[in-house]
Amino acid sequence: MIDVLDRTAALAIAPELGEVFAAAFGAPGYDEEPDPGHFATDQLPTHADRDDFRLVAARSDGSVVGFAYGFTGQRGQWWSDRIANAVTPELADEWIGGHFEVVELAVRPDAQRNGLGAELMTALMAGLPHRRALLTTYSDDRPAPRLYRRLGWQLLVQDLGWGSALYGLDRGVPETR
């Protein structure tokens, strides 16, 4: 079952989300050393205060096994500005600002490879008013970039200069903002 959580509900389970985050990105094959405490007390609360914050969580036997979240990205935010400085001005003007920024997709290793990531991304994107969405992921061949391509995301920049690729999704919906 996948639930859509607002800021209050997401922050109420932040430590559990942090554990899922650490399990997912601390698994073999990832180059990260995730800090579940930092995620729960700094990253998630900061992002939860952004416009249109949305988190979807999947549970199994009462425990969170995966989640995805994002918010409206704007110029002046760290990630949006970092991306704008790494891409052509034309791409930045077309894609950055007012987009839905997918920040994290994390699934516990024991729940991976059964379609849950796709379900979470589909639930996260459902009904959003944003015409465009952006995310960064690994630039090499791993499950995450393959998943995004299967879901219709297009590769905008193969390597931003720090081992990440930029993907965009033009949802084709008119802006309602």
Tokens of 108: 């516990």
Mean pLDDT of the chain: 94
Choose between 155 and 177: higher pLDDT. 155
Q: How do beta strands 99-107 and 132-138 pair?
A: parallel
Instruction: Tell me how far apart the alpha carbons of residues 80 and 48 are, in angstroms, rounded to a whole number.
Output: 16
Residues annotated as catalytic are: 148
Question: Averaged over 25-37, what is the pLDDT?
Answer: 81
Looking at the domain assignment, is residue 24 inside a domain? yes
Domain span at residue 18 reads 2-170
Domain assignment present for residue 175? The answer is no
What value does the mean pLDDT take over residues 95-122? Answer: 96
pLDDT category at 176 given cuts 50, 70, 90 is: low
Task: Give a yes or no: residue 65 inside a domain.
Answer: yes
**Within-domain flag for 26:** yes
Q: Is residue 177 part of a domain?
A: no
Residue 51 is assigned to a structural domain of this protein: yes
Give me the CATH number covering residue 26. 3.40.630.30
The structural domain count of the chain equals: 1
Distance CA 27, CA 31 (A): 9
